[in-house]
Amino acid sequence: MSDRRDFLKASLLGASAFALSGTLPAQGAPVSRTKAASAARVISTWDFGVAANQAAWAVLSKGGHALDAVEQGVQVPEADLKNHSVGRAGYPDRDGHVSLDASIMDADGNCGAVAALEHIAHPISVARRVMERTPHVLLVGEGALQFAIEQGFKKENLLTPESEQAWKEWLKTAHYEPSINSEVHDYGKTGLPGGAHNHDTIGMLAIDDQGRLAGACTTSGMAWKMRGRVGDSPIIGAGLYVDGEVGGATSTGVGEEVIRNAGSFLVVELMRQGRSPQEACQEAVMRIVKRRREASKTLQVGFLAMNRHGEVGAYAIQHGFSYAICDAKKQDGLVPSQSVYTTSFT
Ligand code: ASP
């Protein structure tokens, strides 16, 4: 036991030696810091994480709880009408239904999730209610909607005219192929109507001033997916996992691959064994690549992790994954992740 603790300590000290507290790393390098820094920090997937982090920071900077921070943070992309992969305005399934997946977890193993939830704009808040007001972890479909309505959430049509138009365009061929979403800024390469991406998830991890960790993950999943398809995001241990003794992890990309490998749980367990967040994300990605060597050339999975000291790592299969980072020093950091393939697939 003490050997393991020593190993963990040595590894964390090693990791913190090459980056100063709160300083953004060189491109693609993992972020570390010493314990002396202000404890609060929030990270999240993709470039839309920058705005989400700022909403989370509004909570953290006032000494608020990490759980409130992640809930309020991810509500930003959930409400963003320009974001077609999370919340309202998400692209629908192949039958035209917008169905949302979300999960939330705290440092003590409390967690809640909803899957295939329709008509509710903020699935993350329903997930939190599942966690706090039911004896269950995951509610799905009709039952999740019924619970949300009982809890006072408003039933709405989440399919915007723009998303409906994109779906109708897709119906002309109805060709389904999860795009690898490797170039988040490079619209036009995906072959989707308007060049839009057909999936991307916000996964967020926060540590507050008291050192409390929490995570949240929310998505509309793969555009044009089969009705009833659920990805990794609402599956605790796949799209999100937090353990207060170790740290947290979240994922984005082709959810089926993450579920097959219990991805976020794996990242946290690797950190428990002494890996840095960066090493843990890399190992989890390589497990997927080793199992799916051919397929991995055309799919994207990215992991993002933070340990209980606020040290951060990220790794993806494809070039182009990025994560947003926000703390007392800088609120709008955006860091390109390292990846297996270093050039764009497209
Ligand atoms: N992981 C999400 C899902 O499979 C989609 C994504 O992050 O791109 O539903």
| Pairing verdict, β 213-219 and 240-243 | unpaired
Whole-number Å distance, alpha carbon 3 to ligand 1 midpoint, is 38
Condensed to tens digits (0 to 9), the pLDDT of residues 96-130 reads 999 999 999 999 999 999 999 999 999 999 999 99
Residue 134 has pLDDT above 70, yes or no: yes
Whole-number Å distance, alpha carbon 176 to ligand 1 midpoint, is 15
Residue 193 has pLDDT above 80, yes or no: no
pLDDT band at 162 (very low <50, low <70, confident <90, very high): very high
pLDDT for position 295: 83
Q: Which atom of ligand 1 is nearest to the CA of 220?
A: 9
Condensed to tens digits (0 to 9), the pLDDT of residues 280-299 reads 999 999 999 999 888 888 89
Q: What percent of the chain has pLDDT over 70?
A: 82
Q: Which atom of ligand 1 is nearest to the CA of 178?
A: 8
- The pTM of this model reads 0.87
pLDDT for position 141: 98
Cα–Cα dist 93/222, whole Å: 8
pLDDT for position 2: 38
Q: Is the CB of 190 under 6 A from ligand 1?
A: no
Residue 90 has pLDDT above 50, yes or no: yes
pLDDT band at 197 (very low <50, low <70, confident <90, very high): low
Q: Which atom of ligand 1 is nearest to the CA of 45?
A: 7
Residue 179 has pLDDT above 80, yes or no: no
SS3 313: strand
Whole-number Å distance, alpha carbon 4 to ligand 1 midpoint, is 34
Identify residue 21 by its one-letter amino acid code: S
Condensed to tens digits (0 to 9), the pLDDT of residues 136-145 reads 999 999 999 9
Q: Is the CB of 257 under 6 A from ligand 1?
A: no
Return the bridge partners of 286, or none.
Answer: none
Q: Is the CB of 337 under 6 A from ligand 1?
A: no
Q: Which tokens belong to 266? A: 């794996």
Provide the annotated active-site residues.
201
pLDDT band at 32 (very low <50, low <70, confident <90, very high): low
Q: Is the CB of 318 under 6 A from ligand 1?
A: no
Whole-number Å distance, alpha carbon 291 to ligand 1 midpoint, is 19
CB 308 within 8 A of CB 211: yes
| 58: number of Cβ within 10 Å | 15
Backbone φ/ψ region at 296: left (φ over 0), alpha (ψ -120 to 50), beta: alpha
Q: Is the CB of 221 under 6 A from ligand 1?
A: yes
pLDDT for position 227: 96
CA distance readout (Å), 322 to 17, 93, 283: 23, 26, 18
Structural domains of the chain in order of their starting residue, each with its CATH number: 30-341 (3.60.20.30)
Q: Which tokens belong to 181? A: 């979403």
CA distance readout (Å), 223 to 23, 100, 334: 36, 11, 25
**Over residues 144-167, mean pLDDT:** 97
Cα–Cα dist 225/112, whole Å: 23
Q: Which residue's CA lies nearest to atom 9 of ligand 1?
A: 221
CB 340 within 8 A of CB 327: no
Q: Which residue's CA lies nearest to atom 4 of ligand 1?
A: 255
Q: Which atom of ligand 1 is nearest to the CA of 201?
A: 7
Whole-number Å distance, alpha carbon 86 to ligand 1 midpoint, is 10
pLDDT for position 296: 86
Phi, psi of 27 (to 5 degrees): -50, 125
Give 193's contacts (C-beta < 8 A, 6+ positions apart). Answer: 165, 166, 169, 170
pLDDT for position 294: 85
Q: For 20-34, 128-142, 330-344, which range has the lowest pLDDT when averaged over its residues?
A: 20-34
Whole-number Å distance, alpha carbon 70 to ligand 1 midpoint, is 18
- Among 178, 173, 153, 164, which Cα is nearest to 75's? 153
Q: Which atom of ligand 1 is nearest to the CA of 255?
A: 4
Q: Give the ranges where the chain is alpha helix by DSSP (H).
A: 2-16, 49-60, 66-79, 123-133, 141-150, 161-171, 255-260, 263-272, 277-291
pLDDT for position 264: 98
Condensed to tens digits (0 to 9), the pLDDT of residues 49-76 reads 999 999 999 999 999 999 999 999 999 9
